[in-house]
Amino acid sequence: MRERNILLVTILVLSLIGVGIAVASLVRPLPQPASDRAVLVDQLLRVFFGLATAVFLGVEGLLVFAAVRGRLFGSSAAISNPNPALELLWLAVPAALVLVLSVYSIRVLLLIEAPRSDPLLVEIAASQYRWEFHYPESGVTANELHLPAGRPAVLTFRSSDVIHSFWVPVFGGKVDALPDRVTSLALTPLRTGVYQAVCAEYCGADHAGMIAPVWVEDPAGFEQWLQSEAGD
């Protein structure tokens, strides 16, 4: 009987782990990542999602099992017979999970905030209701953001009026542009493509129209664009 129970619990736990892994690998709540930091955040979110699903199904399953069993046998034996080993187990398992997730989250945070080597600098000026992109190395100023794929970039933000928020969903990370302080976002674009930057902080009547195209190009294409802008 005891062996059968251990076998049953093992099968159930393995099934929950399997469901968790399936959810983590199949469910993608975020858009396909296009930067190094978005990849790390996407993985983190999916691990949390998979684990949360397994814990939810496990806890709710036990609850339903206990309710049905309690009704069938009409017994309150478990309440009057404390089981220290079991209580220790359901303290230890969540504590271990929280510890592992904390270490993982801190690691991701340190990685996405780590300084990038030889970054391309772009100074971004926000104002009601436009974004302006300045490349200090080449003196180019444009109303769309161009970045070379594979090279780290550091974007700095400043606002000339109210608070705005720069957000390119596929890059991950959202940064406020403030009137009295310079903020920044470091990232390495990984996929070429045309994306969109939006303002994610209500800033006035035309907040919704405060958008700008974002081009991630191969390095040659980026240089070509930079030269054509510098020549204007």
Using CB under 6 A as the binding rule, the residues of this chain from 104 to 133 that contact ligand CUA are 129
For 4, the 3-state DSSP assignment is helix
Cβ nearer to ligand CUA, comparing 39 with 198: 198
For 43, the 3-state DSSP assignment is helix
In this structure, are strands 193-199 and 153-159 parallel, antiparallel, or unpaired? Answer: unpaired
Amino acid in the structure at residue 110: L
Size of the site for ligand CUA (CB under 6 A): 8
* Residue whose C-alpha is closest to residue 155's, from 175, 130, 178, 180: 175
* 114, 202, 218, 224: residue in contact with ligand CUA (rule CB under 6 A): 202
* 41, 54, 124, 203: residue in contact with ligand CUA (rule CB under 6 A): 203
199 touches ligand CUA by CB under 6 A: yes
164 touches ligand CUA by CB under 6 A: yes
Distances (CA, A) of 60 to 86, 97, 103, 170: 17, 18, 27, 34
Token pair listed for 60: 């709710």
- Binding range to ligand CUA, per CB under 6 A, among 98-106, 139-147, 198-206, 219-227: 198-206
56 touches ligand CUA by CB under 6 A: no
Min CB(174)–ligand CUA separation in Å: 12
- Binding range to ligand CUA, per CB under 6 A, among 41-49, 50-58, 199-207, 221-229: 199-207
In this structure, are strands 145-148 and 153-159 parallel, antiparallel, or unpaired? Answer: unpaired
Token pair listed for 3: 């062996």
* 134, 174, 191, 207: residue in contact with ligand CUA (rule CB under 6 A): 207
Task: Answer for the pair 32, 170: CB distance below 8 angstroms, yes or no.
Answer: yes
* 112, 197, 210, 214: residue in contact with ligand CUA (rule CB under 6 A): 210
Token pair listed for 156: 């700095």
Residues forming contacts to ligand CUA in the complex (CB under 6 A) are 129, 164, 199, 201-203, 207, 210
